Amino acid sequence: MGEIRFDTGVKSYSLNGCCEVAFNPTDSGFAEKLSQVFSQLDGMQERMSRELEEAGDGGELFELSRRYDRQMREKLDGLFDRPICEALFGDMNVYALAGGLPVWANLLLALLDEAGESLRREQTLTDPALEKYLAKYRA
């Protein structure tokens, strides 16, 4: 049987050297999923902050933090339909701060940056590639 191979734009990425993920950074479906997860996690961050302010003792604070961490990890793992949080964050709570932002936000912002850069790069290649093939079949 013959086989046809073509470029799908799917690329593999190493996340902090801890795990690999693969996706097409210019796929609007992935971008939508990424945007939805970011919005959901941002809302969870706000709810958690409010609840932590209202929480009583340290035990309640830690339980809230663990509960939100579990929920957040489910959303992040769901973005790639496979577990990534265990390898990426280990026992660290994904609400831990690094560079002034929660580590979950750092991950999603890095993905958004890659998607934006890839889209710009691919758009510059579109016209010349299309012209090449159109010229081939016009002759």
Percent of the chain at pLDDT exceeding 70? 96
SS3 70: helix
Give CA–CA dist 39/72, Å, rounded: 12
Token pair of 93, please? 């709570």
Query: 22-31, 59-68, 69-78, 123-132 — which is least confidently predicted?
Result: 123-132
In a domain, 120, yes or no: no
In a domain, 102, yes or no: yes
In a domain, 27, yes or no: yes
In a domain, 123, yes or no: no
Range of the structural domain that residue 99 is part of: 11-107
Q: Is the dihedral of CA 21, 25, 30, 35 positive or negative?
A: positive
What pLDDT does residue 53 have? 86
In a domain, 69, yes or no: yes
Confidence check: pLDDT of 56 > 80: no
Calculate mean pLDDT across residues 54-70. Answer: 87
Dump pLDDT digits (tens) for 3-51.
Answer: 999 999 999 999 999 999 999 999 999 999 999 999 999 999 999 999 9
Axis crossing angle, helix 28-54 with helix 103-138, rounded to the nearest 10? 170
E strands in the chain: 11-15, 19-23, 97-98, 101-102
What pLDDT does residue 4 have? 97
Dump pLDDT digits (tens) for 65-74.
Answer: 999 999 999 9
What pLDDT does residue 125 have? 74
What pLDDT does residue 139 have? 62
In a domain, 15, yes or no: yes
User: Higher confidence at residue 59 or residue 106?
Assistant: 106
Confidence check: pLDDT of 60 > 90: no
Number of separate domains in the chain: 1
Pick from 70, 48, 46: which is nearest to 61 by CA?
48
In a domain, 126, yes or no: no
In a domain, 132, yes or no: no
User: Higher confidence at residue 73 or residue 119?
Assistant: 73
